[in-house]
Each structure stands twice: as structure tokens, then as C-alpha cells.
Amino acid sequence: MTRYEFLKNAGFGGAALMTLLTACSKSSDLSPIATPGSVDFTLDLTTSANAALKNSGGYIINSNVVVARTSQGTYVAGSHICTHEARTKVVFLNNEFYCTEHGARFTTAGVGLNSYASAGLSVYKTELSGNSLRIYS
């Protein structure tokens, strides 16, 4: 049960709930709430910073985007910001996007696989040209 759910079940609501949540949280507990926006960047797959993308299941995080290589050898990209509680905790695990905070699971198309992932995940297009991988919305 999250702190929010606990306080809500205890009868706190509205402004009182927000005041308590703000007062009880440390800045390191919460990632800034942000919504994925327009994305357009290119990765050089020959650099050491992107070496993880040479292997199936490997991933990197760039500009709040998780870029990964699937077990089929294709590239996928999804938001690093989980839709469950807007935490920057999404990684690529077992050929799906996975939030390490509460266990939200998403397909490579962004479809939620459990109740924590019901809102889905923003995914982006990828385009490979030689050693350049473009990620865009």
C-alpha cells in the first residue's frame, strides 16, 4: 500500500492529504512529475556510451527515454517515466518495459500488462540507418 493509499483510507482527503504528502516526503523520494513530450534524437551505436545496445536485452536511458534492443534484434524506445506514479524508474527487462518502483509491466508497444500499468506507457519510433539510431515521436 502506498503512502497516498494509506492516508486516503485513513480519511484524509483534498488539501489535507496533499499537505501531509508534501510534508512527509523527502525530495529524494519522488521524481519530478513530468509528462513525456516530443522526442527526437539520434544515437551513435559505435560509442561506448551506447554499447549496451549491441546485445539483446541491453538498454540505455537517454533524455528520459529507455532505448533497448529486443531479443529479436529490433530496437524499441519507451518513456523512462512510469505512468503509475510518474517515477523515473522504467527499465527494460525480459523483453518488456518494467518499472522498478512498483512492478508495472508494459509491452514493447506500451500496453499495460498488470494493474499498475493500466494507463499504458508512451513509446517512440525508432529508425536504424547504418550505425545511427534515431528515436522520435
Residue spans per domain, the chain: 1-30, 31-136
Please state the pTM of the whole predicted model: 0.74
For residue 104, the model assigns a pLDDT of: 97
Give the CATH number of domain 31-136; options: 2.40.10.10, 2.102.10.10, 2.40.100.10, 2.60.120.10: 2.102.10.10
Q: Which long-range contacts (CB under 8 A, 24 or more apart) does 115-120 make?
A: 116/84, 117/83, 117/84, 119/83, 119/84, 120/83
pLDDT value at 128 more than 60: yes
Would you call 115 exposed, middle or buried from its count of C-beta atoms within 10 A (0-12, 13-18, 19+)?
Answer: exposed
Most confident of 19-28, 30-39, 68-77: 68-77
Residue among 137, 130, 124 at smallest CA distance from 75: 124
**For residues 80 and 60, is the Cβ–Cβ distance under 8 A?**
no
Q: State whether residue 20 is helix, strand or coil.
A: helix
